[in-house]
């Protein structure tokens, strides 16, 4: 994982004939694109280039981006497949009690009732409901729903205390 940058969108392809780009958001922070003025694009060849936005608007489930100095389909083509990113220090601020999933990876997951560490958060899985914390426990993969009613995060201690319903670990 590249901790120096935060990818906020994947540029899919040029759109239209004036150099606009169609992008898929990689962030769920409200207002992130409407307030974005500058970022960087990591092109397919691995180079990073600074970009400045002159106009941004939603289009169906994606976003249309208009970059300064990109005024034709051929100029926009270099951005096909690029990652749009900002430095880690410029990532959006979350409301109190919300966390970036990447910040929680590696946290100890502790069973409140047993007072015992179950494992460390390895990854996330999402299937349309609440996100599921993935951890290894006794050599097997365990999924625990990340919901405020049963999870308490202490980011400074790098720990997530869970109050598990009876039988959840037996599934």
Do 75 and 116 have their domain in common?
no
Contact 39, 49 (CB under 8 A): no
Answer yes or no: is 129 within a domain. Answer: yes
Do 38 and 14 have their domain in common?
yes
Do 116 and 58 have their domain in common?
no
User: Domain boundary residue among 90, 115, 135?
Assistant: 90
Distance CA 164, CA 149 (A): 10
The string of pLDDT tens digits covering residues 136-163 is 888 889 999 999 999 999 999 999 999 9
Q: Considering the entire predicted model, what is its pTM?
A: 0.65
CATH number, domain of 124, equals: 2.30.30.240
Instruction: Give the 3-state secondary structure of residue 102.
Output: helix
Do 22 and 86 have their domain in common?
yes
Do 83 and 122 have their domain in common?
no
Answer yes or no: is 55 within a domain. Answer: yes
Do 86 and 9 have their domain in common?
yes
Answer yes or no: is 96 within a domain. Answer: no
The domain of 110 spans 101-165
CATH number, domain of 85, equals: 2.40.30.60
With residues binned 3-state (H G I as helix, E B as strand, rest as coil), the percentages for the chain, rounded to 5, are: 10, 45, 45
Do 24 and 78 have their domain in common?
yes
Q: Please tell me the total count of domains within the chain.
A: 2
Distance CA 58, CA 15 (A): 13
Average pLDDT, the chain: 90
The DSSP call for residue 95 is P
The string of pLDDT tens digits covering residues 55-74 is 999 999 999 999 999 999 99
Do 13 and 42 have their domain in common?
yes
The string of pLDDT tens digits covering residues 81-121 is 999 999 988 887 778 888 888 889 999 999 998 889 999 99
Determine phi and psi for 36, rounding to 5 degrees.
-80, 130
């Amino acid at each position: 994982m590249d901790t120096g940058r935060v990818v906020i969108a994947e540029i899919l392809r040029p759109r239209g004939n004036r150099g606009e780009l169609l992008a898929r958001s990689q962030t769920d922070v409200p207002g992130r694109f409407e307030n974005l003025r500058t970022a960087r694009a990591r092109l397919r060849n691995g180079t990073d280039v600074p970009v400045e936005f002159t106009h941004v608007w939603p289009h169906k489930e994606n976003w249309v981006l208009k970059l300064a100095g990109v005024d034709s389909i051929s100029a926009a083509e270099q951005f096909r497949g690029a990652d749009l990113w900002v430095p880690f220090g410029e990532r959006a601020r979350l409301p109190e009690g919300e966390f970036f999933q990447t910040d929680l990876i590696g946290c100890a997951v502790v069973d409140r009732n047993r007072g015992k560490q179950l494992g460390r958060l390895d990854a996330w899985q999402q299937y349309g409901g609440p996100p599921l914390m993935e951890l290894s426990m006794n050599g097997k993969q365990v999924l625990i729903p990340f919901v405020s009613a049963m999870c308490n995060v202490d980011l400074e201690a790098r720990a997530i205390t869970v109050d598990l319903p009876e039988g959840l670990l037996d599934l």
